[in-house]
Structure 1
Amino acid sequence: MSPATTRAKQPGSRRRLVIEADGGSRGNPGVAGYGALVRDPASGRVLIEMAEPLGKQSNNVAEYSGLLAGLRAVVDLDPSADVVARMDSKLVVEQMSGRWKIKHEDMRRLALEARDLCAEIGDAGGSVSFEWIPREKNKAADALSNDAMDGKSIHRVLHDVDANDAAAQADSAVSPGSQERADVVAHHKPLRLLLVQVPLVEAAVPLVVGAVLRLVGSGAEVVTCDEPLALEVARAVGAEVGAEPTVSGLWAGRAPGEDADETVRTAYRSLAARGGTVVAVTSRRGVLSVLTDVLETPGPRFWAIATAPGSLTAVEVWEDGSSAVAFTNRTEHLA
């Protein structure tokens, strides 16, 4: 995980943040999407808002995806904050609070990811609590989730102020639902993403790691799924670049369906929003989910791009949001 952007605090002070998240599915399962925002409760000001289509998913998967987006935004913004996550999904709130069991595999995977993010916030000195709110009090996140179900992908950074700055700047606040609000996007660093397809055999691991290290240096972030050889590659790369790999089910490429995995695409878009140099060790489906998103490849052509086990693929995303594929299926290190 890249270092979070934080502001210096006075001793004993603690920033407070509120996540509002929602998800929906037209058909359940059907066309799905999530919306999430991070708000400064002192001023009511929205700091970040996000929306992302999820393809065909259930309503509950969409709700969890909204929570995950909000938690990731907090980790990037200030992981030492005290956070309240507010949702109109009783199921998600009760499950994340530990009062209800999680039976469905897709939700269990997403809940574990959410708990890992909560633990990351806790390790940084922050905290996360969950609060159910009625739907009529979750209108901003609901509107964003409907934008997502309409096919819109949104990541707006509207303000980055802490609670001590909020009162002084309250006169410039804009209503969260206003259509006149400018879509002010922060100047994120470019993203340099190296996609590593999991090798088939352990003997290929040192060859893959060597090839990765010729392309990235210290300071790179490493993310991976929980496949044994993926973990082995990620840990070896992480040891060389000085980064503890972030293990996430979002990079596994195991979501239901035979084409693009929208959970992988969500993870990719989160990286694109904050930038940096990232090595992502994932499955062939994970690699193709990113490539076809960048190239806007039609669904029926999803599997038409050749990639081999242990191959390297590079994607670049610039400050203005434009993206390009630098190379695909590089395999000379395996010869």
Structure 2
Amino acid sequence: MTAASRGSGRRLVIEADGGSRGNPGVAGYGALVRDPATGRVLVELAEPLGKASNNVAEYSGLLAGLRAVLDLDPGASVRVKMDSKLVVEQMSGRWKIKHEDMRRLALEARDLCAEISDAGGSVDFEWIPREKNKDADALSNDAMDGKSVHRVLAVEGDGETDSMTDAESLAAQGISDVSTPQPGVRPLRLLLVQEPHDAGAAPRIVAAVRRLVGPGTRVVGADDDLATRVAADLALALDVEADTSGDWSGQTPGEGADERVRTAYHSLAATGGTVVAVTSRRGVLSVLSDVLGTPVGRFWALATAAGSLTAVEVWEDGSASVAFTNRTDHLA
């Protein structure tokens, strides 16, 4: 976080919902971020979850809303409004969390809240009746109908509310679409995909990646069978060729960072563009430790899950930042 992002003074409202037709059954979540001063919706999100419970869907909507706030303004004061009494009371610390799935999701949500707090912002929770949560409910129903939504609807100061292209959407979130850079500017936007446990997760990974990258994206990856399969599926979806090699395997002998992965990462930073890299947990951490300057003794301290997404940006002046880590909502 930069010093400028600390305590921005901006206020944002998250409205989130989730549902399951069958409980557990066909599930999905919806979330939006609103400017409470104008009532203007800034971001709309919806995502199918496959078969899941209503509570998992509700928590997934909360997680999506918190991530959207971190993209928009991590130093904002945030009010979360939901019609799930369970989620509101658990996140407020008044109700115990007994179910393991709920505990995992609640911990992830608390981590996101902590990121906002660390940036000088704050998060509080408010229960609202269902009739006052209609916009998020409509998005969650879209998700249960199989629709994915990721729309940035307004840019501060633009004077109008319009749907945006993928590139405009990324720019509004402070993420450059470097597949179409400005003259003389060639930053790197690297999306790291941690190799999943099995190929069954590949379609969900592909769907999540396609929402984050656009035309001109390169695909690289490790050369073991599973990583090659995932990289090939991603390349097919993006209409490119995958480039797999041992450079991204993260299997070089030794502890801590894999220098082959770091060398491959530095090579990408030198050429820029938008790149998706399929690698191991050690591969992901090798890049993150390079960006963050993580001490060797803390190399394994950052949690990342199989099939998760992590994004790193390297700017034209050589400075680098971590846009997000360990996104797993597409796997829920």
2:16 corresponds to which letter in structure 1? Answer: A
State which of 72, 75, 93 in structure 2 corresponds to 1:77: 72
Aligned pair in 2 of structure 1 residues 201, 158: CA closer, same or farther (>3 Å)?
closer
Indicate yes or no: 2:131 matched with 1:136.
Answer: yes
The answer to whether the Cα contact below 8 Å between 1:158 and 1:184 also exists between their aligned partners in 2 is no
1:131-210 equivalences under 5 Å are 131-161=126-156, 165=157, 169=159, 172=160, 182=163, 185=166, 186-188=168-170, 189=177, 192-197=190-195, 204=253, 209-210=258-259
Aligned pair in 2 of structure 1 residues 248, 107: CA closer, same or farther (>3 Å)?
farther
Aligned pair in 2 of structure 1 residues 182, 281: CA closer, same or farther (>3 Å)?
closer
Aligned pair in 2 of structure 1 residues 130, 108: CA closer, same or farther (>3 Å)?
same
TM-score, scaled relative to structure 1:
0.60
Aligned length: 239
Which residue does 2:290 correspond to in 1? 240
Secondary structure of the 1:109 match is helix
The answer to whether the Cα contact below 8 Å between 1:79 and 1:124 also exists between their aligned partners in 2 is yes
1:149 corresponds to which letter in structure 2? Answer: M
Indicate yes or no: 2:263 matched with 1:214.
Answer: yes
> Could you tell me how far 1:213 is from its partner in structure 2?
1.2
1:105-144 equivalences under 5 Å are 105-144=100-139
The answer to whether the Cα contact below 8 Å between 1:195 and 1:280 also exists between their aligned partners in 2 is no
CA distance in 1, matches of 2:256, 2:19: 44
The answer to whether the Cα contact below 8 Å between 1:53 and 1:148 also exists between their aligned partners in 2 is yes
Secondary structure of the 2:258 match is helix
Secondary structure of the 2:109 match is helix
CA distance in 2, matches of 1:153, 1:75: 20
1:252-281 CA distance string (max 9 Å, x none) = 4xxxxxxxxxxx5xx64x969xxx988978
1:156-196 CA distance string (max 9 Å, x none) = 001122xxx59xx4xx46xxxxxxx7465524225533334
TM-score, scaled relative to structure 2:
0.61
CA distance in 1, matches of 2:324, 2:18: 29
1:1-335 equivalences under 5 Å are 14-161=9-156, 165=157, 169=159, 172=160, 182=163, 185=166, 186-188=168-170, 189=177, 192-197=190-195, 204=253, 209-217=258-266, 230=281, 234-242=284-292, 247=302, 251-252=305-306, 264=307, 268=309
Question: Which segments of 5 or more consecutive residues in structure 2 lack a partner in the other structure?
Answer: 171-176, 180-188, 198-223, 225-248, 273-279, 313-320
The answer to whether the Cα contact below 8 Å between 2:83 and 2:133 also exists between their aligned partners in 1 is yes
> Could you tell me how far 1:207 is from its partner in structure 2?
9.4
1:70-110 CA distance string (max 9 Å, x none) = 00000010011000000000000000000000011111111
1:139 corresponds to which letter in structure 2? Answer: K
Tell me how large the CA RMSD over aligned residues is. Answer: 4.0
The answer to whether the Cα contact below 8 Å between 2:11 and 2:76 also exists between their aligned partners in 1 is yes
Aligned pair in 2 of structure 1 residues 63, 243: CA closer, same or farther (>3 Å)?
farther
